[in-house]
């Protein structure tokens, strides 16, 4: 067994190279995502992966909301790697997919790349770029033709984002 592990908020050990289903805890996920800033913190206000996940969940039909809420859950254990680095480090995506699969199994949800969730993710991204990265005026190729939401994003404090994430999780996961 690999000795490399991530220490979690609740004091658990998570082994990213050999993820085990019983090492997955929703509070570790909610906490990790809530205290992690999107875009490596290159935003005009702290904006968490947890709030991003809540927004993506709000943009999909009810039957996909649970998958949308957890679509970035692996980032609680692996971090939110910026897209250019992900492209350069294909092994990371493999590890991330593996961790996502274990998280999906743990909560009984398919976290495989769903086109509806992916589209909601892009809408959230377009909105985040507009509202949280005002100096990023260049066009992002993968956002061409993607319309941002009509409402502006108001960033939540990490503790609030964590509570909202947990509340939404409890509502959907019986």
For the stretch 65-96, pLDDT in tens is 999 999 999 999 999 888 889 889 999 999 99
Element (H, E) at 13: strand 13-14
Is residue 116 included in any domain, yes or no?
Answer: yes
Which residue has tokens 């985040």? 128
Report yes or no on whether pTM surpasses 0.85: yes
The whole domain housing 67 covers 26-172
Element (H, E) at 14: strand 13-14
Which residue has tokens 């997955």? 24
Distance between CA atoms of residues 109 and 139, nearest Å: 34
Distance between CA atoms of residues 99 and 116, nearest Å: 21
The domain spanning residue 39 has which CATH number? 1.10.3210.10
Is residue 7 included in any domain, yes or no?
Answer: no
What angle, rounded to 10 degrees, do the helices at 26-34 and 158-172 form? 140
25-38: average pLDDT: 98
24: pLDDT strictly greater than 90: yes
Per DSSP, the three-state class of 114 is: coil
Element (H, E) at 6: strand 6-7
Is residue 11 included in any domain, yes or no?
Answer: no
pLDDT per position as a tens digit, 129-147:
999 999 988 888 889 999 9
Main-chain phi, psi angles of 6, to 5 degrees: -105, 130
pLDDT-wise least confident of 42-56, 95-109, 130-144:
130-144
Q: What percent of the chain has pLDDT over 70?
A: 98
Is residue 120 included in any domain, yes or no?
Answer: yes
């Amino acid at each position: 067994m690999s000795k490399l592990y991530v220490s979690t908020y609740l004091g658990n050990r998570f082994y990213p190279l050999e993820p085990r289903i019983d090492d997955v805890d929703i509070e570790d996920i909610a906490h990790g995502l809530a205290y992690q800033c999107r875009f490596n913190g290159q935003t005009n206000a702290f904006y968490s992966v947890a709030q991003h996940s809540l927004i993506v969940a709000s943009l999909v039909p009810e039957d996909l909301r649970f998958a949308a809420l957890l679509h970035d859950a692996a980032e609680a254990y692996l971090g939110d790697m910026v897209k250019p680095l992900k492209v350069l480090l294909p092994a990371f995506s493999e590890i991330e997919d593996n961790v996502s699969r274990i998280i999906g199994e743990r909560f009984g949800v398919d976290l495989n790349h769903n086109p509806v969730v992916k589209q909601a993710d892009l809408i959230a991204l377009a909105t985040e770029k507009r509202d949280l990265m005002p100096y990023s005026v260049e066009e992002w190729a993968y956002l061409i033709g993607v319309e941002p939401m009509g409402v502006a994003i108001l960033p939540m404090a990490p503790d609030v984002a964590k509570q909202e994430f947990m509340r939404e999780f409890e509502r959907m996961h019986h």
